Structure 1
Amino acid sequence: MNLSKICGIAAGVLIAAMPVSLLPCAAAETYSYTLLDDGTASLKCEDAALVHADIPETIDGHTVTALAENCFNGCTQLETVTIPDSVTTIYSYAFQGCSMLETIAIPQAVAKIEDFAFEGCLSLQEITVADGNETYYAENGILFKDGISRTLVRYPQSKTDTSYKTPDKCGTISPWAFTDCRYLEKLEFTKVSAIGADVCMNCTALQKVTICDDVPELIGAGFAYCSSLRSVKLPERLTQIGDRCFFGDAALSEINFPAKLESVGEQAFYACVELKTLPLPKSIKTLGSESFGYSVNESGASTKIPGVVFEVDFGSAAYKYAKSNGFSYRSEAPQSLILIIVVGAVLAILMIAGVSISVKRQKAEKAAEAELLALEQRRKAHEERKRKKKEESGK
C-alpha cells in the first residue's frame, strides 16, 4: 500500500472520529448545525445581529429538516425569515426573543412545532401555513394544530383585534398560546375542554375573560400579570386553580367561585387588591399559602390587603384559612348544627326549669315538715301543762 493511500485512510478515520454535533456553515458563519440520526441537519443561527434570515435548504450537503431549540433566540433585530420546504420540525424557543419579527410562514412539510416556539415575538401579527400541510393550519393569522380535537397553538402577540372567541371546533389551548398579547381586551373560550399552562400571562390590555363550563382546571400562572383584567367567568366544572393563576391582577373585582372548586394554589390571587369580598364554597379542600388576601408593600414584603372579607361555611377549609390568617369573615352554621344548637338550648331551658321546680318543691316540703314539727312540739307542750295542772289539783 503506497503512502498516499495510507494517508487518505488515516485522514478518513480522523474525520469519522470527529464530533459532528456542531459544524460551521461552509458559505458563512451565520449558522451551525447538529446532525440528526437520519443524517439531516438541525440548524441554529450564530449571528445575533441577523436582520433577514433566508434559511438554506442544505448545509454542507445535509438537508436541513429542523430548526433547533433556541435557533434564533436573542436575534432581536430579525425582521424576516424564510423557512425552506425541507423543514419538518421547529423546536422549543426557536424564535424566542425575536421582538422585531412581524410575520412567519410555516412550510407544507412541518409536522411538529414544539411549545414556546414563538415566545417573545412581541411584534408578531400574523402566522400563515402553506396549503397542503397535514398537521397545521392558520385561521385569520392564528396558528392551529389539526386533529380530532383541534388545538390553538399561537395567537400572534401583536394582532390588533381587541376581542376573540375561540372556534367551536377548537378543543384545546396550548401553553402560552395568548401570552404577551398586547391588544386583546376580551377573550371567550367556547367548547374548550383543556387549557395549557400560563395561557394568557402578561396580557396587559385584557379586561374580560369567559371560560366555558367544560374546563376542569387552570394550570400555572394562566392569567398572571393581566393588569387590566376586571371580570372573569370561571367554568362550573372547575375543580383546580393553579399556583399564581391570577397573580398581580390589580384590577380584578368580579369573579365567581364554582361549587365544585376543590383546590386553590399558592398565591393564586396574590396582589388582587380590588378583590375584597370572597364568597368561597365549602367544596374547597385546600388553599395554598397566601392564596387570597395578600399583596406586597413598598418594602417588598407580603402584607394583608385591608378590607378583605371572606364569606365562608362554618368549619370549611376557607373558614379555617380566614380565621388562621386573621381575616374578617362572615360564616353561616350548617342547618344540622343550627338544629343541634336549638335542641340543646331547649333542653337546657327545660333542665333549668326542672331544677327550679325541684328546688321549690324541696323548699315547700321542708317548710311543711318544719310546720308539722312545730305543731307536734306545741301539742306536747300543751299536754305537759295539762298533766302538771292535774297533779297540782290532786294534791
Structure 2
Amino acid sequence: MQAFNACSGLETVSLPNAISIGNSAFLNCSALTTVDISGVTGTLGNNTFKNCTALTSLNVSGATIAGNNTFENTGTLANADFSSLVSLGAQTFRKTAAVALSFPALTHVGNASDPTSGLVFWQASNLKTIDFPMVEVINTGAFNSCTSLESITFPATLTSLTENNYNMFKGCTSLANVIVEYTTFIPLGYNPDGASVNTSIFADVFGATLTIPSSVNATDYTTGDVWKDFGAPVLNVNTHEAALGWDFYPNPAKDVVTIQNIQSQHADITVFDLNGRILLNKTINNVQSEINLSSLNTGIYLFQVKTDAGAFVKRIAKQ
C-alpha cells in the first residue's frame, strides 16, 4: 500500500498506534523529516522510506524486520530508534546519509533465509560507525563501498565468517579498526589454486588494527590465512577490566545486571546512554552488587567504573 507515495510536501508523520506499514508507504517523500510509527510491531515493507532524503528523526522502536530497500537513500537518521529490529533485508540502508547507526537487538544483517540477500549498507558513504552487539549473521557485501566506515566490532555472537561474507568491506578504504570479540579463533581460508575464499571480506582494507580477545591464542591470528595480513593483533580492551577483578552478567540483561568485584574495591559506577546522558549512579563496596535497568528502554548502555586502582567502561545490552 503506497499510502503517502511521492507526497513531496509531507514533513511530519505521527502514527504511534499504527500496527502495520505496507510496501512503499512513504516512497519519495523528499521533504519528510520526522516519523513516529512506534506502534508497528512486525515488518516494515520494501521501499517504505526509500528516497526520503530529509529524514532525520525516526521512531520504529516496535518493528522487528525491515524489508528490501526500506531505508535506501534516506537522510542522516540522526535521531533514530531501531531498538527491536532483528533482521534487515537486501539493500535496506543502501545510500543512506546516516553517519552512525545502532541496532541493539539485530541478529541478521540480510534476510535470514537467503544469504545472497546482501549489500545491506551498500554505498552508505557517510557511515562511520555501526553498533550491533547481538549480530549472528552478516550477508554478502554488507558494507560494500562504505568509504567512511572507520571501525567495526564483530561481537561474541558472530562465531563464523564464510563465503557468504564475500566483499563485506570492499571499498572500505577508511576502515582502521577491526575488533573480534568471539573467544574462539574464527578461521578463514584459501582455495588450493591460490585464490582466496575469504580474502574479499577485507578487500581494499589496508593498515587496519586487528583487536582480539586476550583469551585467544594470538598465533592463530598472526599465522592464519587472511588474518595474518593485519600484522600483530592487539589484545582486547576488556583485559583491563579483567585485570582489575570485575565481572558483569548477564550481558545482554533484561532487568538486573549483577556486578562482581573479587577485590571488594570501592567503586563509583555511572550509567550513560550512547548520547552521553547520565542515567544512573551507584557507589559499591561489596564483592557483589546489582544495578536495576528495568526502567530503561531496550538498547546499549555504558557503565563507567572508577576505582582507586583504575577505571574502565563496560558496554551492556538491555533487552
Q: TM-score range by the shorter chain?
A: 0.3 to 0.5
More helix by percentage = 1
TM-score, normalisation: structure 1: 0.39
Structure number with greater Rg is: 1
